[in-house]
Structure 1
Amino acid sequence: MKQEQSIITLGLLFFSIAIMLYGNAFAADKTPHRVTQPEFDAAISTINSKISDIKPSVRTIGEVLPDNSIVFWVDETGQHGLAAQPFDEDGQFNWYVAKEMADSRGPGWRLPSKHELNLLYLQKEIVGSFDDNSYWSSNEYDATNMWYQSFFDGSKGGFDRSSYSLSVRAVRAF
Structure 2
Amino acid sequence: MSKQILFIQGGGEGGYEADKELVTSLQAALGEEYMISYPEMRWDEAAADFGWTKQIGEEIAQADNGLVLVGHSFGASMILKYLSETTINKKIKGVFLLAAPFWSGDEAWKAGFKLKSDFANSLPADVVYYLYHSKDDDEVPIFHFHQYKKKLARANFREVNSGAHQFGNDLALVAEDIKSL
TM-score range relative to shorter protein:
under 0.3
The TM-score normalised by the length of structure 1 is 0.24
